Amino acid sequence: MYYIGVDLGTSAVKLILMDKEGNVVKTVSREYPLYFPKPGWSEQNPSDWYENAVEGIKELTDGVDAAQVAGISFGGQMHGLVILDKDNEVIRPAILWNDGRTTKECDYLNNTIGKDKIAEYTANIAFAGFTAPKILWLRENEPENFKKISKIMLPKDYLAYKMTGVHCTDVSDASGMLLFDVKNRCWSKEMLDICGIDENCMAKVFESYECVGNLTKEAAQRMGLTENVKVIAGAGDNAAAAVGTGTVGDGKCNISLGTSGTIFISSDKFGVDDNNALHSFDHADGHFHLMGCMLSAASCNKWWMDEIIKTKEYSEEQKPVTDDMLGNNRVFFLPYLMGERSPHNNPAARATFTGMTMDTDRTDMTQAVLEGVAFAIRDSFEVAKSLGINVTETKICGGGAKSPLWRKMIANILNIKVSVPVTEEGPALGAAMLAAVGTGAYKNVEEAASHIVKIKETIEPDKEIAARYEKKYQQFKKIYPALKSVFDEFD
């Protein structure tokens, strides 16, 4: 049997066809437009997602016996606001995760309602990208559209609705809306009241591996599949990617070095840190996870290489950095090119180089950029450790993880083992695995992960390098607090 994983990203939908053993038989990617109607705004048309997903699935399964396709599931960009009217028509373009129009609404939620109350209701605090502030913005700025709302959905869940006719979501994606009681895995009545939303407007909540329905006749015909295909709820992109790297079960960790960077720690127990520095969400495996998200990770290196030193030879620039230089660099880099989310939650934070002298050279600064991202990831790692979570190893994925030097830095700066999976298909693979679980090929997500996810390389920390980096980290973590008041004065 085959399983389809759909990764609904910000710039494209990526689809994979996977067999029961976890082999990726075929991949397809289709791009769609992103709109910026005003500075800081970011929107997309949900119809573009569905049309491209349908055409992509047709291409993906061309030449495959349709009767062999058992299930479809999703990993999707989180936090986006999709609103439907009483006829289930989209009311306005979706407002995306990277839209920054809700500063005023976040201030209202965090400071007027109060972070303590918001965290009590949802286990999180308000960020500009989350869904609840978008609803408040809509109520204030587009009251006519607000009155028309019959259903509120997330991006991937709109695809599931179009395929099944069921208004559904899953616990991991719902956790990022700031409308969801993460601890009890249900909608928060208090948050819905604050936003002026009736619970009937919210989708039915499923676990990520649960079947929400079968393909409708119309959807099956359009895709060239059968109505026997089960549609599984799926997960938010980070939780789906975690499934795809086997980051399920208690104390497992995954670090993603993409444009942004995340550290994702799965846990059997619900937990929230005192300052809400990390996101506390439900996980796709039926339990919980903590996640630190930094806004600029591999993009810091791209900026340094492309814009500053004007080269595309990334690996050549890293070659001069030898083991004896690790933990001995006097230059530090704060990686806050886009402000910062975890753990500082400060959009005013800025990137800086610190510690340069007359003998500082290009290699020192290249090294500092890579180390700065790793140190910032450790900031979130330390918060998780403060909750008593013991992490001894991590998976690593994303474009930045292709750098052997960066992988070695992560292993030694966090002082844990770093493992590289054989297959890295991101949220699409996790989605296909959830489809396999939801159709009965595996009894649970952990069994699927243990069977499918294989490791090709593990980097062990070096005792001497890790000790040097420990001293450097203690210096690094003093820089942001010293500069915070300066950042707050910048435009």
Q: Are 348 and 342 in contact (CB under 8 A)?
A: no
Q: Is 279 annotated as a binding residue?
A: no
Report d(CA 482, CA 165) in Å as an integer: 54
Residue 371 pairs in a beta bridge with none
- Residues in the chain, how many? 491
Q: Is 7 a catalytic residue?
A: no
Buried b vs exposed e over 91-100: b needs ≥16 C-beta within 10 Å? bebbbbbbbe
CA distances for 241 relative to 5, 200, 254, 376, angstroms: 11, 30, 9, 21
Exposure of 491 by Cβ count < 10 A (0-12 exposed, 13-18 middle, 19+ buried)? exposed
Pairs from 85-92 (Cβ < 8 Å, separation ≥ 24): 85/148, 85/149, 85/150, 86/148, 86/150, 88/150, 88/151, 88/161, 90/45, 90/46, 90/47, 90/158, 91/145, 91/148, 91/149, 92/142, 92/145
341 three-class SS: coil
Q: Is 78 annotated as a binding residue?
A: yes
- CA 128, 347, 104: angle at the middle one, nearest 5? 45
Please pick, among 7, 48, 181, 237, the residue that the annotation labels catalytic.
Answer: 237
Q: How many CA atoms lie within 13 A of 396 on its CB side?
A: 28
User: Which pairing describes strands 186-187 and 180-181: parallel, antiparallel, or unpaired?
Assistant: antiparallel
Report d(CA 79, CA 83) in Å as an integer: 13
| Structure tokens, 28 | 């397809």
Q: Which residue has the tokens 């399964």?
A: 61
CA distances for 63 relative to 52, 60, 284, 340, 459, angstroms: 19, 9, 32, 46, 41
Binding residues: 78-79
Indicate which residues carry an active-site annotation: 237
Q: Which residues are annotated as a binding site for substrate?
A: 78-79
